[in-house]
Structure 1
Amino acid sequence: MENILVAGANGTTGKQIVNLLNASQYFKPIAMVRKAEQKKQFEAENIETVLADLEEDLNHVFDNNKTIDKVLFAAGSGGKNVFKVDQDGAKRLIDASKANNIKKFVMLSSMGADKPEEANKLHDYLKAKHNADEYLKSSGLNYSIVRPGTLTNNAAEHKIKLEESLNEHGEISRADVAQTLVKVLNDDTANKATFEIIKGHTLIGEALNKFSTVVY
């Protein structure tokens, strides 16, 4: 069983990710939270937690949890501090992950992060995500970058549309995004891959088969 550090565990999508990992026979979540009071909900479920702020040094996360195997970044500032959290916070966690020989870094990005200059309303957010994604690609770490369309709180459909570039906009439930992120944690899935997802008609596992590759 592999230990997965989840950055942004207290977020709407992050909580679903942690629950999926906690129910998995392959993965064990370590919930990374920013405030001490956020630890209680996870500890009540016997889920290990670590207190860390993406705007500060993160090396203690790995010093105290030397058994972390992979990292899943699902954190976000909610548009308040996109360059400090979504960009620099991600870079800080990437650096710490590399220093501690993490096997895989899964990034929750956003559709449009490949061309932030074309965005109107979310330019700064997408630019921050773009910079974080590019930093991860050049880090030398094994990675998966998942770029969903507009997030909804609808129930999981367990089906998606997936391409490296969809060339169309759409929405997708946080539940299906969470399932996709957990599935790409597998060693043989989406290694050094970047792709976009929206709701669709193909089962998530089947859609990911096109990115089943060699293990790095």
Structure 2
Amino acid sequence: MDMKNKKNVLVIGANGTTGKMVIDKLARNSAYYAKGMVRKEEQKETMEKLGALPVLGNLETDFSDAFEEVDIVIFAAGAGGGSGADKTKAIDKEGAIKAIDLAKEHGVEKFIMLSAIGAGKPSELDLDEAMEVYYDAKHTADAHLENSGLTYTIVRPGLLTDDEATGKIRASERLQDRDGEITRADVAEVLVQAIELDNLNHKAIEILNERTEIKTSLIRL
């Protein structure tokens, strides 16, 4: 590919389990330059080993420098289970909203958000208190993105597993049956494929592992 046409892709949450998989896929694809946003100096080496340019940034403070010369943003950050309500609000809601606003300021072409299945309408879900906080954060951030004016895709996976990639999913803007799981590796593949699939623009999609090849499932949407 012509080097001039390579897209700079910023991955926020690049040091997370799914984030590292996204970075690895981007770094292996000649169409992209991967930039991995990490919080700590010592995490830079991991990004470099994966083939990405590391940039320091903290979702709870200032991370505007990470957006220099960025074409695409993949937001894969999350406070993680057991981190408490304050941290969830700071990362999954306020941090995501800041990232969306910065993407708009910097003229980013597309923003791809990793969310959670059912986040479009959390009132339909049976949630405990901790999950209510989490889903409120995801729902609010997703809505902010939908109303931002940016070109976006929101990816809402079911329960994440660390199993090997299957390469096969079920995808819909609203899955009727949300029972099921999906591997982080398959989620990472969907996030990367969403960069080029214009039919996913301005859509939120729910995904679970099933029988259809990932690309086939996505281009049907």
CA shift for structure 1 position 45: 4.1
Quote how far apart the aligned CAs of 1:46 are.
4.0
Counterpart in 2 of 1:98?
104
- Normalised by the size of structure 2, how large is the TM-score? 0.91
1:214 corresponding residue in structure 2: none
CA contact (8 A) 1:155 1:173 kept: yes
Equivalent positions of 1:36-185 (< 5 A) are: 36-62=41-67, 65=68, 67-79=69-81, 80=83, 81-117=87-123, 118-121=125-128, 122-168=131-177, 169-185=179-195
2:30 and 2:211 mapped to 1: Cα distance?
Answer: 27
Q: Which residue of 2 aligns with 1:18?
A: 23
2:55 aligned counterpart, secondary structure: strand
Deviation at 1:167, TM superposition (A): 2.0
Select the residue among 37, 49, 52 that pairs with 1:32: 37
1:189 CA displacement: 3.9
Paired residues in the alignment total: 208
- Compared CA separation, residues 45 and 146, structure 1 to 2 (3 A): closer
Q: 1:187 and 1:68 mapped to 2: Cα distance?
A: 18
- Rounded to whole Å, the distance in 1 between the matches of 2:191 and 2:12 is 13
Distance in 2 (CA, whole Å) between partners of 1:123 and 1:149 is: 16
Normalised by the length of structure 1, the TM-score is 0.93
Alpha-carbon distance between aligned partners in 1 of 2:50 and 2:117, rounded to the nearest angstrom: 33
Q: Provide the alpha-carbon RMSD of the alignment.
A: 1.2
Contact 1:73 1:105 in 2 (8 A): yes
Contact 1:107 1:146 in 2 (8 A): yes
Give the percent of matched residue pairs that are identical in Structure 1 and Structure 2. 43
Deviations 1:74-121 (A, max 9, x none): 000014211110000000000000000000000000002122233323
- Matched residues in 1 for 2:118 and 2:51: separation? 37
Structure 1 residues not aligned, in runs of 5+: 212-216
How far apart in 1 are the matches of 2:42 and 2:175? 40
- Whichever residue aligns with residue 165 of structure 2, its letter is A
**After TM superposition, where is structure 1 displaced by more than 6 Å over at least 4 residues in a row?**
none
Which structure 2 segments of 5+ residues have no match?
1-5
Mapped to 2, the partners of 1:189 and 1:38 lie a distance apart of 35
SS at match of 1:44: helix
